[in-house]
């Protein structure tokens, strides 16, 4: 669904900072773009699966977003438009949606895309034997009927406001997957989609290669190949930028602010800055007795200086977060204020909860056990590692012993997050333009592979999340989500740290990049390189 789908980078209310003069840059673009070349991008982690309804990590989503399509998508101005659906009717106050599908779309193996593929994808999304984190939106569907090969009628059990946008979920080919075990299918590493790029190869831990779909219904992409390199270390990625071995990547704040202001980078790259539509947080395993008491979680919030993180780690390229919605969301509750840095208040709350330094060794203890926990973050993300180090230092000052463990991304997800084998984590969420956050915060979404892995439960929040999905009036929905914002903040199931700025950099030979409210990746199939500047000639 659209909340987890990212096509490269792209989010909200764009603030673009470009080297050079935009008018001169635009003037250099050719009248007729040339086909050819490749774009090399980099990720700190490998994909886990390319089965679309199982793809929950950012690397898997990056690839799926180019290989597959949904029925709808967001345009450059963040308005919903048709993708595999060319038109639709919404009837009976939103209870019924009739999608009219495009008739000129084929799967990458040449088979025609039809309504049967939409029905098949829906059936798998609600199949209890398929461990998908995206089932919540589709469990609200009462029936899905095939009216003909290119018409689908969706009827909901009750009004469901995110229903239309939820059909941004990538559609899968029935003729390939109908008899497959989704947990053990060759398709997960050899996908066939309808999207602008076709899968070519995957070398685990090294790269994933896609090639342009010459028969794509919107027209062949100008860039022939998309090479997704796995480079676990951000410093190594930066070295690759310096040798032009990588064309596009997200910069760290240090790289953006201090390491790219050189003649070389100004000549060969263009960098961009805009607020990301998401947040970074310190998440607790709420099933762990140490974190069961809200006073403990609130004390930890008081003990962390978030302004220190913004200034020291992000170099000012971000803002303090207060809850499950970023400031650019219409659901954001501006009345919710962040907890101020107050270690004295933190110690008082911990004492109320029974945590004191009884043996005078400098560490808090309770019932003879030291307050100690392991804080995990994923390998290759320097920002999260530095956040963890600041958190460790600040908690040490109030008597909490924190051990930091940095884990390779795929292992981090499969062995620790999915299996709930963690004390606390530093992670981030990328969010939907629609504020429905049912899959992250509803108490029913705690199965393995689902998104409420911290184990948050609040029945009133559950009811509000349900109510927000039934309400179509944006003003009334805003009231509901403002309450959700306040209640989740008050519960402190995690510590909301910051909303970072997105800081992508792209090699200057790529033309056709048009920054918009959706970011820069929304029109990737229109990016192109003049023939005389192309670096990669092999198809």
Decide if pLDDT at 397 tops 90.
yes
Residue of 372, 325, 258, 378 lying closest to 485 (CA atoms): 325
For residues 193 and 94, the model is more confident at 193
Among 383, 265, 313, smallest CA distance to 18 is for: 265
DSSP type of residue 245: -
Q: Look at residue 20 in the predicted model and tell me its pLDDT.
A: 35
Annotate 107-117 with b (16+ C-beta within 10 A) or e (fewer).
bbeeeebbbbb
pLDDT given for residue 167 in this prediction: 97
- In this prediction, residue 25 carries a pLDDT of 34
Chain segment 337-380, per-residue pLDDT in tens: 999 999 999 999 999 999 999 999 999 999 999 999 999 999 98
* Residue given tokens 């992000």 in the structure block: 314
pLDDT at 409 over 90: no
What is the pLDDT at residue 13?
32
pLDDT digits (tens, 9 = 90+) for 257-276: 999 999 999 999 999 998 88
325-358 as b/e: b if 16+ CB within 10 A: bbebbebbbeebebbebebebbbebbeebebebe
What percentage of residues in the chain have a pLDDT greater than 90? 84
- On the question of pLDDT at 207 being above 50, the answer is yes
- Report yes or no on whether pTM surpasses 0.75: yes
Give the N- to C-terminal CA distance of the chain in Å, as an integer. Answer: 32
Beta strands in 381-531 (DSSP E): 401-407, 424-430, 494-502, 504-507
Residue 22 scores a pLDDT above 70: no
Residue 136, pLDDT above cutoff 80: yes
CA atoms of 409 and 429, how far apart (whole Å): 15
Backbone angles phi, psi at 93, to 5 degrees: 55, 35
Range from 14-23, 39-48, 191-200 carrying the lowest mean pLDDT: 14-23
- CB neighbourhood size of 67 (10 A): 23
As a whole number of angstroms, the distance between CA 457 and CA 444 comes to: 8
- Say yes or no to pLDDT of 10 above 50: no
pLDDT value for 538: 65
Among 164, 161, 81, 96, which Cα is nearest to 473's? Answer: 161
Number of residues in the chain:
539
Count of CA atoms in the C-beta half-sphere (13 A) of 532: 3
* Domain 278-501 CATH class label: alpha beta
HEC readout, 370-402: ECEEEEEEECCCHHHHHHHHHHHHHHHHCCCEE
What does the pLDDT look like over 54-104, one tens digit per residue?
A: 998 999 999 999 999 999 999 999 899 999 999 999 999 889 999 999 999
Parse the chain into domains and list their residue ranges. Answer: 22-50+57-62+186-275+502-533, 70-177, 278-501
CATH superfamily of domain region 22-50+57-62+186-275+502-533:
Periplasmic binding protein-like II (3.40.190.10)
d(CA 100, CA 40): 36
Domain 70-177 sits in CATH 3.40.640.10: no
Shortest CA distance to 352 belongs to which of 372, 366, 339? Answer: 366
Output the pLDDT for position 539: 52
């Amino acid at each position: 669904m659209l909340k987890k789908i990212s096509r490269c980078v792209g989010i909200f209310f764009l603030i673009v900072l470009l080297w050079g003069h935009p008018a001169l840059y635009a003037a250099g673009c050719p009248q007729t773009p040339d086909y050819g070349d490749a774009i090399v991008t980099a990720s700190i982690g490998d994909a886990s699966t390319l089965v679309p309804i199982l793809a929950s990590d950012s690397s898997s989503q990056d690839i799926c977003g180019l290989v597959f399509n949904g029925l709808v998508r967001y345009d450059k101005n963040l308005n919903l438009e048709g993708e595999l659906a060319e038109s639709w009717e919404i009837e009976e106050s939103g209870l019924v949606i009739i999608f009219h599908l495009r008739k000129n779309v084929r799967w990458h193996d040449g088979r025609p895309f039809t309504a049967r593929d939409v029905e098949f994808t829906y059936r798998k999304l609600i199949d209890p034997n398929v461990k998908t984190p995206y089932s919540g939106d589709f469990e609200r569907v009462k029936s899905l009927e095939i009216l003909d090969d290119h018409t689908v009628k969706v009827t909901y059990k009750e009004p469901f406001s995110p229903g239309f946008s939820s059909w941004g979920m990538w559609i899968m080919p029935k003729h390939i997957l109908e008899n497959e075990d989704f947990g053990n299918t060759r398709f997960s590493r050899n996908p066939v989609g309808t999207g602008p790029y076709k899968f070519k190869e995957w070398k685990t831990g090294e790269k994933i290669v896609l090639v342009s779909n010459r028969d794509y219904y919107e027209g062949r992409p100008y860039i022939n190949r998309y090479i997704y390199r796995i480079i676990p270390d951000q410093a190594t990625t930066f070295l690759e930028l310096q040798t032009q071995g990588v064309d596009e990547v997200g910069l760290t704040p240090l790289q953006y602010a201090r390491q790219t202001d050189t003649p070389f980078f100004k000549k060969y790259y263009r960098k961009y800055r805009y607020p990301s539509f998401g947040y970074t947080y310190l998440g607790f395993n709420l099933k762990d007795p140490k974190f069961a008491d809200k006073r403990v979680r609130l004390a930890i919030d008081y003990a962390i200086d978030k302004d220190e993180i913004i200034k020291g780690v992000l170099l000012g390229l971000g803002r303090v977060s207060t809850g499950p919605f970023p400031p650019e969301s219409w659901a954001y509750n501006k009345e919710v204020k962040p907890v101020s840095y107050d270690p004295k208040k933190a110690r008082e709350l911990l004492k109320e909860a029974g945590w004191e330094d009884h043996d005078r060794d400098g560490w808090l203890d309770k019932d003879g056990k030291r307050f100690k926990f392991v804080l995990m973050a994923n390998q290759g993300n320097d920002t999260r590692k530095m956040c963890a180090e600041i958190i460790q230092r600040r908690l040490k000052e109030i008597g909490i012993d924190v051990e930091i463990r940095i884990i390779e991304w795929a292992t981090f997800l499969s062995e620790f997050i999915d299996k709930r084998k963690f004390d606390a984590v530093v992670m981030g969420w990328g969010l939907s333009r629609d504020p429905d956050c049912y899959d992250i915060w509803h108490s029913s979404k705690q199965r393995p592979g689902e998104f409420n892995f911290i184990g948050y439960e609040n029945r009133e929040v559950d009811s509000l999340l349900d109510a927000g999905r039934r309400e179509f009036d944006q003003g009334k929905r805003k009231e509901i989500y403002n309450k959700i914002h306040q209640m989740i903040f008050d519960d402190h199931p995690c510590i909301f740290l910051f909303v970072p700025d997105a800081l992508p950099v792209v090699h200057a030979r790529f033309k056709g990049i048009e920054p918009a409210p959706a970011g820069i990746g929304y029109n990737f199939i229109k990016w192109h390189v003049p023939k005389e500047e192309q670096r990669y000639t092999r198809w």
